[in-house]
Structure 1
Amino acid sequence: MLKANNISFFSIATATLFALSSAAAFAANTLNSVRIWAAPDSTRIVFDLANKPDFNHFTLDNPERLVIDLDDTQQGSKLSLAELSNNSELVKKVRLSKPPKQGILRIVVDLKQTATANLFSLPPTGPYGDRLVVDFDPGRKATIKQDSDRQQSDDRDIIVAIDAGHGGDDPGSIGPSGMYEKRVALAIAKRVTEQINTVPGMKAIMTRSGDYFVDLNRRSELARKGKADLLVSIHADAFTSPQPRGASVWVLSNRRANSEMGRLLEQSEKVSELLGGVGEIVQNTDSEQYLMRTLIDMSMDNSRSAGYRVASDILGRLGKVTKLHKSNPEYASLAVLKSPDIPSLLVETGFISNPSEEKLLRSDSHQQKLADAIYGGIINYFKTYPPEGTLLARSATINHRVVSGESLSVISARYNVSIDAIKKANNLKSNVLWIGQKLVIPRV
């Protein structure tokens, strides 16, 4: 009888342990990998899961920690947190901890300092499956230093914001051999930045200087905080077939793109938001909304005009070093170009989906040629139209080519120089101008 009872107890215990282990083995979700993307002013941790995460979280202090409980989740067989690459200024370590109950996978993020955590899940998109994203922010400090003396100085630098597309969790388009657009964009952006910073009176700032994601709306915000006079975003194009090739330059349009490439570009921007994270929503709460709309439209018209001039110059220079997809700037409605007060443009350096161009884009010499073309267009524009109050405006000679619709009064207002001064500098006997005429704009 005692023997039978022992057998019965052993069987029940074994069955219970098997049931518990089976429940863990067949959890509804699996944590497959963890990735850390460190930006200068923030850090993003991405948890890759088999399915949509069901999670709870809380924070602890002394020391600072974030605790995440993933319900009905198990650790993937290839997950190794000990080998996790981490160069963050905020995150010390990511580790697993004892769960409060069976079926929960508890993750602890040890922090180096106090930080605000924003957690959200993302659906499968592009090369990624379901993800839980955690953004740590120590206080939303801008990565670009503001020039506090800009308004007081008559010799300020001209600021150009260089934006390398994609980054971090968002690879951008991927070439036939596996080359990532984000790496091409960053390499060329760094070359352009280095060249601009050699010019007296000019300074380039980067929206990202490493492999991390910057929200699309935040890129123009960083340019504005850096008091940029121009924003140039650098990318590499892609198409659904390998045949298309050639560089192109895009400027802002409030209307939907009227070309297939434009529609694909707009769609890829939406994909970037999903890959990199949830875009910020900006609401206008100003009661004078109609006046504000008018002022923004006026500012955007001026920015569009300036952006188109730079785009045309860059495109002409690109045509001398690579094939062009289109010979004129194209239009699309893109978040990165929507800053109304900053002339902005987007350069597609070639089709990474084309095997021949992917090989070129990988080449250091070709990257340098592309950077030279972009740099040349930027420098030529600002030498021709230097903003008032800048060192370049005070020291450079302005040469103006008359275009359709311009008169002496229009040119006089643009450069804040009297009509008589312009006529005297160019030995003009009348107010009549012709298209293509070159004028020297005198300094006053």
Structure 2
Amino acid sequence: MIKNNPYFQIIILSLCSFLSVAAHAANQLESVRIWAAPESTRIVFDLSEAPDYTYFSLDGPNRLVVDLKKSATKVALKNLENNSKLVKGVRVSKSPTKGDLRLVIDLVKPLNASLFSLPVTAPYGNRLVVDLEDKTLTTATAVVSSTPVKTVTQAAQSSRDIVIAIDAGHGGDDPGSIGPSGVYEKKVALEIARRVSSKINDTPGMRAVMIRTGDYFVNLNKRSELARNSKADLLISIHADAFTSPNPRGASVWVLSMRRANSEIGRWLEQKEKHSELLGGAGEIIQNTDNEQYLAMTLLDMSMNSSMAIGHSVAGDILKDLGGVTDLHKSRPESASLAVLKSPDIPSILVETGFISNPKEERLLSSSRHQENIANAIYKGVSRYYHNNPPADTLLAQRGGASSSSAKSTKERTPTAYVGSSTSSNVKHKVSRGESLSAIAQRYRVHMSSIKQANGMKSDVVQLGQTLVIPQS
């Protein structure tokens, strides 16, 4: 009789509807990922909706407690992959508030914690990110390759190695581009970066530092910061290109442009870099206007002009060797406004090793043999440039440049210079793309004012193809 009562049926239907809405309203924790870097750990909580959360730390033992409002989970947290040296594990604890989800991160020791949420960014949904860092870590340092640092003899104590920072693009939450068969750009980039680093470390007078050595994300600002802290002479960022169609192919080398890229693929790269920052981090390149203000001020500095000129020259040398082992998308350096290239004091280039969106090149980039060929081409271009143009305070400069061939004169080390016909004491220089007056003055070790005086110049502006008389001291 009760079952046939219409009021009873209405109550049951209402209750079921309420339970269904309540279950649907709960934010679901769908997965947890732990990314371990050498000196920090990132934990990513994937959620069905944007998180509403609070957190606090406890000691004895050390824990970070995160409360997710109106949330639930069925994730088996005991089965999480965890290779972190800072985090013991993640577990669920009883929440003091009904309907909330309390997560406890058990820590090895006291850590600095930074928490932030990230919006839906394909291929990921809503995320809560927990960044944990050792409290004793006061300055960021790049991870030096395991090859021992080469020592110098007593007679050369004042000289140093040329330091090359190798940046494997993407990593961790940010896979980069994904090929047609599922190959991740971040894995290809890391493999090639390791090979380049090894070759540099095997070269007397040169040393490599790797910006990342494993599968974790490094924010774009920090990549340049790590290179700077290692006193790098050059930053090489290694990637695998992609496009909206599978047709484009070939390797390319990119240098900084002060303006937005003027090619379709360049604009695609700029957009992809912003997308990567949203995938892998808090988007500080996009959000931190102070960085842009700092950049705007320093772009006027001579060091930026010099860095851009050197980067352009190195890019040209690398392209010569890449063309011998793979197709080139463009035979000259291309330019785009990419954050990883914007360090004003470090020459920086970005090497796209091929189009991972092209099925044939995806197969090549997955091949160890092709990775070795690409790495060797990058190494040879960098090595040739610095053997021909060693900074004055380095071992290579003390040894007279190239170690495997006879030392070259200053005129021979400068491809764009040739002996002038008017006087025997002056040299003429033809201005190449990307060069500035300050960079040319630094190359020939003369004052800018001397070049201006010798050429009757009233400003510091030089034109592509212009021939300058370089007065010799």
- TM-score range (shorter-chain normalised) is 0.7 to 0.9
Q: Find out whether 1:283 has 2:290 as its counterpart.
A: yes
Q: Find out whether 1:91 has 2:72 as its counterpart.
A: no
Q: Which protein has greater RCO, CA pairs closer than 8 Å, 6+ apart?
A: 1
Identify the match of residue 168 of structure 1 among 172, 177, 181: 172
Match in the other structure for 1:414:
443
For residues 21-44 of structure 1, the C-alpha deviation after alignment (integer angstroms, 9 at most, x for no partner) is 767633431000000001111110
What is the CA–CA distance in structure 2 between the aligned matches of 1:408 and 1:156, rounded to whole Å?
Answer: 30
Counterparts of 1:331-342 in structure 2, within 5 Å, are 331-342=335-346
SS at match of 1:208: coil
What is the CA–CA distance in structure 2 between the aligned matches of 1:218 and 1:123, rounded to whole Å?
Answer: 22
What is the CA–CA distance in structure 2 between the aligned matches of 1:102 and 1:129, rounded to whole Å?
Answer: 25
Counterparts of 1:249-268 in structure 2, within 5 Å, are 249-268=253-272
Counterparts of 1:214-293 in structure 2, within 5 Å, are 214-280=218-284, 281=288, 283=290, 293=297
Match in the other structure for 1:391:
395
Change in 2 beyond 3 A, CA 1:284/1:367: closer
Counterparts of 1:125-204 in structure 2, within 5 Å, are 125-138=121-134, 139-144=137-142, 153-204=157-208
Number of aligned residue pairs: give it. 400
SS at match of 1:315: helix
TM-score normalised by the chain length of structure 1: 0.83
Mean Cα displacement is larger for which, 393-402 or 217-226?
393-402
What is the CA–CA distance in structure 1 between the aligned matches of 2:71 and 2:205, rounded to whole Å?
Answer: 57
8 A Cα contact 1:155 1:390, kept in partner: yes
Match in the other structure for 2:5:
none
8 A Cα contact 2:143 2:212, kept in partner: no
SS at match of 1:110: strand
Query: Which 4+ residue blocks in structure 1 deviate beyond 6 angstroms?
Result: 14-21, 409-413
What is the CA–CA distance in structure 1 between the aligned matches of 2:345 and 2:428, rounded to whole Å?
Answer: 24
Give ranges in structure 1 of 5+ residues lacking alignment.
5-13, 418-434, 436-444
8 A Cα contact 2:165 2:227, kept in partner: yes
What is the CA–CA distance in structure 2 between the aligned matches of 1:232 and 1:218, rounded to whole Å?
Answer: 14
8 A Cα contact 1:27 1:103, kept in partner: no
SS at match of 1:388: coil
Identify the match of residue 26 of structure 2 among 21, 28, 33: 28
What is the CA–CA distance in structure 2 between the aligned matches of 1:263 and 1:239, rounded to whole Å?
Answer: 11
For residues 189-222 of structure 1, the C-alpha deviation after alignment (integer angstroms, 9 at most, x for no partner) is 0000000000111100000000000000100000
Q: Find out whether 1:104 has 2:100 as its counterpart.
A: yes
Question: Deviation of residue 90 (structure 1)?
Answer: 1.4
What is the CA–CA distance in structure 1 between the aligned matches of 2:64 and 2:256, rounded to whole Å?
Answer: 41
Change in 2 beyond 3 A, CA 1:92/1:254: same
TM-score normalised by the chain length of structure 2: 0.78
8 A Cα contact 2:298 2:344, kept in partner: no
Mean Cα displacement is larger for which, 184-193 or 60-69?
60-69
What is the CA–CA distance in structure 1 between the aligned matches of 2:92 and 2:356, rounded to whole Å?
Answer: 39
Match in the other structure for 1:372:
376
Identify the match of residue 301 of structure 1 among 297, 302, 305: 305
Question: Deviation of residue 94 (structure 1)?
Answer: 0.6
Match in the other structure for 1:116:
112
For residues 65-90 of structure 1, the C-alpha deviation after alignment (integer angstroms, 9 at most, x for no partner) is 111111111104xx221111111121
8 A Cα contact 2:299 2:344, kept in partner: no
Change in 2 beyond 3 A, CA 1:102/1:388: same
Change in 2 beyond 3 A, CA 1:82/1:23: farther
SS at match of 1:386: coil
SS at match of 2:64: strand
Give ranges in structure 2 of 5+ residues lacking alignment.
3-11, 402-406, 420-425, 430-439, 447-464, 466-473
SS at match of 1:283: helix
Percent identity between matched residues is 60
What is the CA–CA distance in structure 2 between the aligned matches of 1:349 and 1:252, rounded to whole Å?
Answer: 18
Change in 2 beyond 3 A, CA 1:331/1:119: same
What is the CA–CA distance in structure 1 between the aligned matches of 2:32 and 2:390, rounded to whole Å?
Answer: 48
Question: Deviation of residue 414 (structure 1)?
Answer: 3.1
Question: Deviation of residue 382 (structure 1)?
Answer: 0.3
What is the CA–CA distance in structure 1 between the aligned matches of 2:139 and 2:371, rounded to whole Å?
Answer: 32
